[in-house]
Amino acid sequence: MKVGIIQFPGTNCEYDTQHAFAALGCETQILWHKEESIPSDMDLVVAAGGFSYGDYLRSGAIAKMSPIMKALKVYAENGGKVLGICNGFQVLTETGLLPGALKRNEGLHFISRHHHLKVVNNDNDFLRHCAVDQVVNIPIAHHDGNFYIDAAGLNELYANNQVLLKYTDGAGNIDNPNGSVDSIAGICNKSKNVFGLMPHPERAMEALLGSDDGRAMLEGFINA
């Protein structure tokens, strides 16, 4: 299993992501944003968290113009698996690989803390090791995590089982930290090979550091 991790200027979670997948036994490779192709031996490409291009203009907006994003589009269109975490999720929506957009948090604050999430759908590679309605504890750290999609788009997400995770409390009741439509924290595309979420599963790999609930999520990509 080989995982490529995209690095833009301002990305800052690439090494955490590398560490997380290495801990699961994967081979990893950092992919600089100027690369014009995705190496053919990649089983998964991760757009990691951070502040690509300082979040100038809009989070993820300038990153989408990088050469590697053209290659990533082709890779995804050919069925390649892609995971966008936090800023990576913003980049994937800006690029159009995932529907919707991420707006400024409703309360305008940057939120950095552990948050509970409920698994909504698990018929996909990412969450196949989690149970539907299972509550996981995963850190969030974002300023622009307020997921927006119009009513028609939302219906389509539900109809195709593309809603993956919702923000809840520890008991699984909706608890929306940032104003996201229907408290949505993560989604996938229609063909279920492109995934995006604002929370950071790669920061939940060790029980000693608060939670290891991210392991089962990332493990879903292995031997999928």
Partner 1 sequence: MKAIVNVFLKNGVLDSQGKAVQHALSGHGFDSVKDVRVGKQIIIEMNESDAALAKEKVAHMCEELLANTVIEDYEIEIQA
Q: Catalog residues that contact partner 1 under the rule CB under 8 A.
A: 57-58, 61-62, 64-65, 93-94, 99-101, 103-108, 146, 148-149, 179
Per the annotation, the verdict on 202 as an active-site residue is yes
Closest CA to 91 of 48, 126, 124, 29: 48
> In the bound complex, what is the minimum distance in angstroms from residue 101's beta carbon to partner 1?
4
> In the bound complex, what is the minimum distance in angstroms from residue 77's beta carbon to partner 1?
19
- Is the distance from CB of 102 to CB of 145 less than 8 angstroms? yes
Q: Work out the angle at residue 55's Cα, subtended by the Cα atoms of residues 51 and 59, and round it to the nearest 5 degrees.
A: 95
> In the bound complex, what is the minimum distance in angstroms from residue 185's beta carbon to partner 1?
18
DSSP count for the chain of H helices, then E strands: 5, 11
Question: Between residues 86 and 102, which has the closer beta carbon with respect to partner 1?
Answer: 102
Question: Between residues 23 and 65, which has the closer beta carbon with respect to partner 1?
Answer: 65
Q: How buried is residue 155: exposed, middle or buried, by Cβ count under 10 Å (0-12/13-18/19+)?
A: exposed
Write down the catalytic residue from 94, 188, 200, 219. Answer: 200
Per the annotation, the verdict on 86 as an active-site residue is yes
CA 163/CA 187 separation, integer angstroms: 5
Per-residue three-class SS string for 118-142? EECCCCCCCCCCCCCCCEEEEEEEE
Write down the catalytic residue from 14, 94, 202, 219. Answer: 202
> In the bound complex, what is the minimum distance in angstroms from residue 96's beta carbon to partner 1?
9
Write down the catalytic residue from 13, 26, 33, 86. Answer: 86
CA 212/CA 109 separation, integer angstroms: 26
Question: Between residues 9 and 179, which has the closer beta carbon with respect to partner 1?
Answer: 179
Per the annotation, the verdict on 188 as an active-site residue is no
CA distance between the termini of the chain: 10
> In the bound complex, what is the minimum distance in angstroms from residue 79's beta carbon to partner 1?
25
Question: Between residues 65 and 131, which has the closer beta carbon with respect to partner 1?
Answer: 65
CA R_g for the chain: 16
Question: Between residues 21 and 53, which has the closer beta carbon with respect to partner 1?
Answer: 53
Residue 194: beta bridge partners? Answer: 82
Catalytic residue positions, numbered = 86, 200, 202
